Amino acid sequence: MDVKFINAFVAAIQNVFKTMLGTEVGVGKPMLKQADLVSAEVSGIIGLSGEVQGSVVLSFQEDAASRIASTFAGVELTLDSPDFADAIGELANMVAGNAKKDFVGYETSISLPSVIIGKGHKVSQSKVWPFLVIPCQTGLGNFNVEVALITNKKPVMAGGAA
């Protein structure tokens, strides 16, 4: 996967959290997703289609998900709240949409968000199309952004050579 796609997601995560939650995000070194990675309790998923295809998953443990969703929505939300999934889905939507704007030269669309809630669930990955995991740390709790993208078009990214 082109590192510039990952950079677009890092910038998007930081922009969305700073603007909507007033929270800085520290980003660790991206790594390939390992099978033994601790499974998530909450996953917000967006699909990408067009000249860049794949998916992005915001992956949380329960406590971090509740604190982040509550701060985003401005009201206390727990996993049982009717608007909890909506808040997580919209966060995933904003991160994917914000990253997509830096895919200059690629015609790409994003799907409506899906949210999975449940202890120990796993979002499976393709062997030929692995997820890169971007570890994210915030004052509200840590989470991961998992990105799996492919394109067969010559890259023309914002700020890069044509």
Partner 1 sequence: MNILLVDDSRTIRNIQKNTLKTLGHEDVTEAADGIEALACIAKQRPDLMLVDWNMPNMDGITLIKKVRETDKTLPIIMVTTEAEKSRVLQAVKAGVNNYVVKPFTAETLAEKINQTMAKFATAAT
The distance of closest approach from Cβ of residue 86 to partner 1 in the complex, given in angstroms and rounded to an integer, is 5
Q: Does 136 bind partner 1 (CB under 8 A)?
A: no
Residue count of the chain, please give it.
162
Q: Is residue 3 part of the contact set for partner 1 (CB under 8 A)?
A: no
Judged by CB under 8 A, the chain residues 23 through 82 that form the site for partner 1 are 72-75
DSSP string, the chain: --HHHHHHHHHHHHHHHHHHH----EE---EEPPTTSPPEEEEEEEEEEESSEEEEEEEE-HHHHHHHHHHHHTS---TTSTTHHHHHHHHHHHHHHHHHTT-TT--EEEPPPEEEEEEEE-----SSSPPEEEEEEETTEEEEEEEEEE--SPP--TTS--
Report 72-101 residues binding partner 1 (CB under 8 A). Answer: 72-75, 83, 86-87, 89-90, 93-94, 96-98, 100-101
Minimum CB separation from partner 1 for residue 87, in Å? 4
Per CB under 8 A, 162 contacts partner 1 = no
Instruction: Count residues binding partner 1 (CB under 8 A).
Output: 22
State the nearest-atom distance from the C-beta of 40 to partner 1, in Å. Answer: 20
- Shortest Cβ distance from residue 15 to partner 1 (Å)? 6
According to DSSP, the residues that pair with 146 across neighbouring strands are 57, 133
Instruction: State residue 152 phi and psi, 5-degree precision.
Output: -110, 15
Report the residue number, 33 or 94, with the smaller CB distance to partner 1: 94
Binding site for partner 1 (CB under 8 A): 15-16, 19-20, 72-75, 83, 86-87, 89-90, 93-94, 96-98, 100-101, 110, 112
